[in-house]
Amino acid sequence: MSAWTRNSASAAVEDIGWRLILGYLCTSVEVSSLAEAQAAAATAITAAGADAEEHLRIDLRPGRVELAVQTASTGWLTDRDIEVCTAITEAFDGKTVPGSNPRSVQMLEIAIDAIDIQLIAPFWAAVFAYVEERNDAGDISAVVDPLGQGPAVWFQQMDAPRPQRNRIHFDIVVPHHEADARVAAAVAAGGRLVSDRAARSFWVLADAEGNEVCVCTWQDRES
C-alpha cells in the first residue's frame, strides 16, 4: 500500500468537494441540528465501509459535520482513502463541500523554533499529554494529540538563536484556493505581509506588534 503524493491526492478529490489539509482529505456536510448531524455521521460511516475506523474521522456540530480521511495506521493517503472520499460523496449525492459559512475547513498548527528539537520536544509532549511523531531518521519532528482534540505542535530547526523574534508562531493551514483571500483579509485587518518568498507553500504575516503567523497550503511542497 503506497502513499499518494500531495499533488495526486488533491487532484483526485478536488472536484468532488474535498481539500487536502495537513495530510488529511477534508470536507463538510451542512446540517440543521445535532440529530441531523448524527444521521449524517452514520451515513458517512456506512459509506466508508467495514474499515471506516482506519480511515475516517468525524466532528459533529449543530450546523455541520466535518469529515477527515487518512489511513490512520500509516499517516499516509492511499488508494483506499480516495475510495472512501468518493463513496462518502456519492452517499451524500455530491453535497460534500469544503464549506463557507462561517468558514471553510482548516487546521491549526503551532510552530516552535528550536536549537535542540530533541531536547525540548518531550517537554511539550508531556505538558500537553501528546505523543511524539518521528521522521524517517527516527528523530522527533512534532508532537500530536492522540485524541485529535488539539492542534499539532511542530518544531522548526534554528541554526542560531535570533534575539527579539518570536520563537513560537501559529500556522493556519487552509484550502489552497482560499489562501490569497485569507492573506488579503489579514492585511486589511491591520496586519502586514512579512514574506511571500515561500508562497504558495506559506505566507508569513505579522500583526501590528510583530507577532507572526503563517498562512499555509499543501502546494509547492513537492514536485
**107-216 to CATH, choices 3.40.50.720, 3.10.180.10, 2.40.50.100, 3.30.1120.80:** 3.10.180.10
**Residue 213 phi/psi, 5° resolution?**
-145, 145
Strands 168-173 vs 212-216: parallel, antiparallel or unpaired: parallel
CA 112 – CA 169 distance, rounded (Å)? 7
Helix axes 6-13, 79-91, angle to 10 degrees: 20
Can you read off the three cell numbers belonging to residue 182? 485569507
Check whether the bond before 163 is cis (ω within 30° of 0): no
**The pLDDT of residue 223:** 42
Closest CA to 154 of 216, 72, 223, 73: 216
189-218, pLDDT tens digit by residue?
Answer: 999 999 999 999 999 999 887 878 999 999
Distance linking the first and last C-alpha atoms of the chain: 21
Domain boundaries, the chain: 6-91, 107-216
Can you read off the three cell numbers belonging to residue 112? 516552535
CATH code of the domain occupying 6-91:
3.30.1360.20
pTM of the model: 0.83
**The pLDDT of residue 207:** 86
> 107-216: same fold as 6-91?
no
Can you read off the three cell numbers belonging to residue 37? 448531524
In the chain, the percentage of residues whose pLDDT exceeds 90 is 67
